[in-house]
Chain A
Amino acid sequence: MTIDDIKELIRVVQETGIAELEVRRGENSVRIKRSASGSQDVVVPAVLPVPVAGVAPPVASVPAATAQDTAPPPAVTPPAPPAEESRDVIVKSPIVGTYYDAPSPGAPPFVKVGDHVEPKQVLCIIESMKLMNEIEAETAGTLIARHVENGRPVEYGESLFTIRPA
């Protein structure tokens, strides 16, 4: 993965407004996370990370108060309005296999980032032992991120797409 590739991914994050984007390419992996201020943190781990379970809303971490706390409570701040990201739906792989974005090599992909998708629309195929598993959208909305590259292996529960509900 080159610097230009990473710059391109940052551009995608800026344009789409998603909170976090993780892309794997061979042994390399990059995770770009939008911070509360709107800037991006780019994390290139030395080893492959555990697949993300979902998109974390971009909130600052605050120590949890407990009933035993004796210190005066912190100044109450109004809760942030629900971020749009919290409604985003992550489509995950139900099986271990290989991700394919088109029905056959050279064919146009089922979907592209930016497309509007409808429930039951096929988003990709995960092949496992020659079982072609069609992954369908369960929600109508805009496909705002694709997390896996064509032809790459995926694990059970790995994030494949983010859909922002219509």
Chain B
Amino acid sequence: MPLDIACIQRARPSNPILYYPTIGSTMIEASSLANDGASHGTVVLADEQTAGMGRFGRSWLSQPEAGIYCSILLRLQLKPGSLPVASLLLGLAAAEAIQKATELICDLRWPNDVLIRERKVAGILTHLTEGCIVAGIGINANQTSFPDGLRTPATSLRIESGGREQSREAVVIHLLEAIDSFCSTLKSEGPESIVRAFTRASSYALHRRIIIEETGEKGTTAGLDSNGFLLVQLDRGKLERVAAGGVRPDV
């Protein structure tokens, strides 16, 4: 069944929402809107993406009417150096939305993979264009299976709740609420508040054995610095600050 956009728009009147039954990528449309000056909180939602985007041109599986394919514009009044904290914020918001809509508990893998039982349930991609953050959020809602060979094993809200179909509208509404709420916290309490919230919510922030994706080096996580960068005590002795890419568990 297609998304009930009227229901979402009634619950979130402050978010201008553009809906497409089918689109190449919500990110392309949202970037174009950002360049045209669209306001903070503008949302692009689709029931199907024919060219869903992941990091670095990787694809994001976008099965029709099963997942949530959403891009949102954030115009945050932050110094450029503080903007990357938005990546942590979006992961926190997606995890909170899933928990409120489904009661499933999520973990966060730095910087913003949303996991349930170490399987990816949501992925986030952010672009900064002319001072506007364009955030793509993909949430696996009602998929019942995933192909083999994905970079990270995937799961869906439906799989994790014993096969029960989940309301995508409820997840989207909670997602937009949570983004709003964390943006308010960021504005009033500063980027450190988001870093602290992420540290509390993520099992990857401290004492986790990990491999740094970009270098292949192994180590143990040692918290986040004030900018939100992950600190890793490398096995070879050095304390490394990871600013880009991601980490995966060293199992």
Residue ranges of A at the interface with B (Cβ–Cβ < 8 Å):
94-98, 100, 103-105, 107, 127-134, 136, 151, 153, 156
- The answer on a CB contact under 8 Å between A132 and B80 is no
- The answer on a CB contact under 8 Å between B245 and A96 is no
In the complex, chain B residues whose CB is within 8 Å of the CB of A97: 84, 243-244
B75 to chain A minimum Cβ distance, whole angstroms, is 14
Cβ-defined partner of A95 (8 Å) among B56, B84, B129, B214: B84
- The answer on a CB contact under 8 Å between B126 and A132 is yes
Q: Does B205 contact A (CB under 8 A)?
A: no
In the complex, chain B residues whose CB is within 8 Å of the CB of A127: 244-245
B13 to chain A minimum Cβ distance, whole angstroms, is 28
Provide the bound-state CA to CA distance between A96 and B57, in Å: 22
- The answer on a CB contact under 8 Å between B81 and A129 is no
The closest CB in chain A to the CB of B87 belongs to: A129
Majority secondary structure of chain B interface residues (helix, strand, loop or mixed): mixed
Provide the bound-state CA to CA distance between A130 and B57, in Å: 13
The closest CB in chain A to the CB of B79 belongs to: A94
- The answer on a CB contact under 8 Å between B127 and A134 is yes
- The answer on a CB contact under 8 Å between A96 and B133 is no
B32 to chain A minimum Cβ distance, whole angstroms, is 14
Interface range, B side: 20 to 34
Q: Does B64 contact A (CB under 8 A)?
A: no
In the complex, chain B residues whose CB is within 8 Å of the CB of A133: 80, 83, 128
In the complex, chain A residues whose CB is within 8 Å of the CB of B133: 131
A–B pairs, 20, beta carbons within 8 Å: A95-B84, A96-B243, A97-B244, A104-B57, A107-B57, A127-B244, A128-B244, A129-B84, A129-B111, A129-B229, A129-B243, A130-B124, A130-B126, A130-B244, A131-B127, A132-B127, A134-B128, A134-B129, A136-B130, A151-B214
In the complex, chain B residues whose CB is within 8 Å of the CB of A95: 80-81, 83-84
- The answer on a CB contact under 8 Å between B127 and A96 is no
In the complex, chain A residues whose CB is within 8 Å of the CB of B124: 130
A98-B128 contact given A104-B57, A129-B229, A130-B112, CB 8 Å threshold = no
In the complex, chain B residues whose CB is within 8 Å of the CB of A104: 56-57
- The answer on a CB contact under 8 Å between A131 and B57 is no
A10 to chain B minimum Cβ distance, whole angstroms, is 30
- The answer on a CB contact under 8 Å between B245 and A98 is yes
In the complex, chain A residues whose CB is within 8 Å of the CB of B87: 128-131
In the complex, chain A residues whose CB is within 8 Å of the CB of B128: 131-134
